[in-house]
C-alpha cells in the first residue's frame, strides 16, 4: 500500500505525514484560496469541464492545515454541539482535507453552508457524481457505510483515489476502508475493472 492516493485517513488512522505544500495548487482561478494536491486538482478541472459545469458547481473546502481543522472542530462544537460535530467534522489529524485529496462541493447559491453544503443527487451535481469515478473521485461517505467510516452521509465530499481504484470501488460498492483492507490481504487478484475508460477520462489514469 505505497500509493499515496489510497492513503486511508480516519479516526483510527490519523495522518502520518503532512502533505508537502509545494504539491498544492488552486482548484480554480476563481477560487485561489481553495487548494488540492496537484494531480487531484487537475482531474477535478477536467471533470468539471467535461460535464459543462459552467460555474454551477463551486468548491467549498479543499486542503486544510491542521490548525484550520482544529478551529473548524472547535467552532462546530461551540455552535452545533459535540454530537453534530462527530457526525460531520473529523478530528484534527483525522481529516482527509489535510491530505489535499478531498474536496467539498456545492451547487452554486447566494449562501452556502460550509459544513453541510447542498449537493443534490440530480441535475449537474448528479452528472458530476456519475462521471466522478472515471476521473479518480469517489463520494467518500455514504449512508450505508456510516458504520465503517464513522462519518454520516456527505453527498458533497469527494475523495481523489485515482483510476482504476475509483472505478473498482464504485463497481464493487466498497468504501476506502474496505478497499484498502482487501488490497492489503491480496485482493487485487479479485478486484478488477474490465471496462474501458471513455474520452477525456483516459487522460487522468
Single pTM value for the model: 0.89
pLDDT score of 189 more than 90: no
Q: What grid cell was written down for 36? A: 488540492
User: Is 50 buried (19+), middle (13-18) or exposed (0-12) by CB count in 10 A?
Assistant: middle
Q: What are phi and psi of 14, to 5 degrees?
A: -65, 165
Tell me the catalytic residues. 154
Q: Tell me, what's the pLDDT at 17?
A: 85
Contact 89, 115 (CB under 8 A): yes
Mean pLDDT, all residues of the chain: 91
- Residue-wise pLDDT for 126-178, tens only, equals 999 999 999 999 999 999 999 999 999 999 999 999 999 999 999 999 999 99
Q: What is the DSSP string of 80-101?
A: H-HHHHHHH-PPTTS-GGGGT-
Amino acid at each position: 500500500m505505497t500509493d499515496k492516493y489510497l492513503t486511508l485517513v480516519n479516526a483510527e488512522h490519523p495522518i502520518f505525514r503532512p502533505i508537502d505544500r509545494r504539491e498544492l495548487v488552486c482548484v480554480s482561478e476563481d477560487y485561489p484560496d481553495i487548494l488540492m494536491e496537484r494531480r487531484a486538482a487537475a482531474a477535478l478541472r477536467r471533470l468539471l469541464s467535461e460535464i459543462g459545469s459552467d460555474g454551477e458547481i463551486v468548491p467549498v473546502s479543499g486542503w486544510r492545515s491542521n490548525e484550520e481543522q482544529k478551529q473548524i472542530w472547535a467552532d462546530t462544537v461551540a455552535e452545533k454541539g459535540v454530537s453534530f460535530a462527530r457526525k460531520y467534522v473529523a478530528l484534527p489529524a483525522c481529516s482527509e482535507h489535510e491530505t489535499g485529496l478531498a474536496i467539498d462541493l456545492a451547487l452554486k447559491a447566494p449562501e452556502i453552508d460550509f459544513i453541510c453544503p447542498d449537493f443534490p443527487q440530480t441535475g449537474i451535481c448528479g452528472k458530476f457524481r456519475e462521471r466522478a469515478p472515471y476521473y479518480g473521485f469517489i463520494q467518500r461517505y455514504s449512508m450505508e457505510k456510516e458504520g465503517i467510516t464513522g462519518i454520516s452521509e456527505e453527498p458533497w465530499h469527494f475523495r481523489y483515489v485515482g483510476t482504476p481504484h475509483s472505478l473498482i470501488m464504485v463497481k464493487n460498492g466498497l468504501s476506502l476502508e474496505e478497499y484498502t483492507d482487501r488490497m492489503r490481504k491480496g485482493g487485487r487478484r479479485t478486484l478488477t475493472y474490465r471496462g474501458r475508460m471513455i474520452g477525456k477520462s483516459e487522460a487522468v489514469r
